[in-house]
Amino acid sequence: MAVEVSILVEGGKAAAGATLGSALGPLGVNVGQVVQKINEETKQFLGMRVPVIIRVDPNTKAFTLAVGRPPVAALLLKEAKKEKGAGKPKTEVVGDVPLEAIRRIAEAKGEDLYGRTIEERVNQVLGTCVSLGLSVGGEDPRSVLKARISARGAR
């Protein structure tokens, strides 16, 4: 039966430090190989924290990785080229994200989001923009969300 180790690493920058070493060392896995594989598979998420599940077969010492997707907030901040969101998101705007990027993020996250349709998922990402203090195409994300809901209700 495989043993699972779940960690959160910075994309492309995993290290064989205390976290991985203490978790994988007792399982007899080559930690260096695991770190190399993690960095290889997460390099496209450079600068973002990414969830990774390492499954180890204790008998053969073989391992597999399941790399998750970064949180919506991290993807939005990367798109806006910002390090962090606003301290007071209801009154402060720290950046802007185009609506096309919102849709792209919603599609990339897919089943990780709660919405059943792409439109519902886009609305969820817009809600995250509100929480981060990001505008959408120069507009308040709440206005964009209301307009989208009104347009859908008018159909």
* CATH number (domain holding residue 34): 3.30.1550.10
| 77 and 53 in a common domain | no
Mean pLDDT of the chain: 89
Domain check: are 147 and 76 in the same one? Answer: yes
Decide which of 67, 83, 100 is a domain's last residue: 67
Answer yes or no: is pLDDT of 31 > 70. Answer: yes
**pLDDT top residue among 36 and 152:** 36
The answer, yes or no, to whether residue 1 has pLDDT greater than 90, is no
Q: Is residue 155 over pLDDT 60?
A: no
Pick the last residue of a domain from 67, 87, 103. 67
pLDDT reported for residue 98: 96
Whether residue 142 is found in the same domain as residue 87: yes
pLDDT of residue 111: 85
Residues 106 and 54 in one domain: no
Whole-angstrom distance, CA of residue 119 vs CA of residue 63: 38
Residues 87 and 43 in one domain: no
pLDDT at 95 over 90: yes
Do 26 and 81 fall into the same domain? no
**List of residues 6+ apart from 64 with CB closer than 8 A:** 54, 55
Phi, psi angle pair for 64, to nearest 5° = -130, 155
Residues 114 and 138 in one domain: yes
Co-location of 81 and 145 in the same domain: yes
- Domain tally for the chain? 2
Question: Are 66 and 52 in contact, with CB atoms under 8 Å apart?
Answer: yes
Global pTM?
0.73
DSSP string for 107-118: HHHGGGSS-SSH
86 and 54 in a single domain? The answer is no
Task: Give residue 57's domain range.
Answer: 3-67
Residue 20 pLDDT? 84
Q: What is the pLDDT of residues 100-117, one digit of tens each?
A: 999 999 998 888 889 889
Predicted local distance difference test score (pLDDT) of residue 154: 59
pLDDT at 115: 87
> Do 80 and 53 sit in the same domain of this protein?
no
Does residue 19 carry a pLDDT above 60?
yes
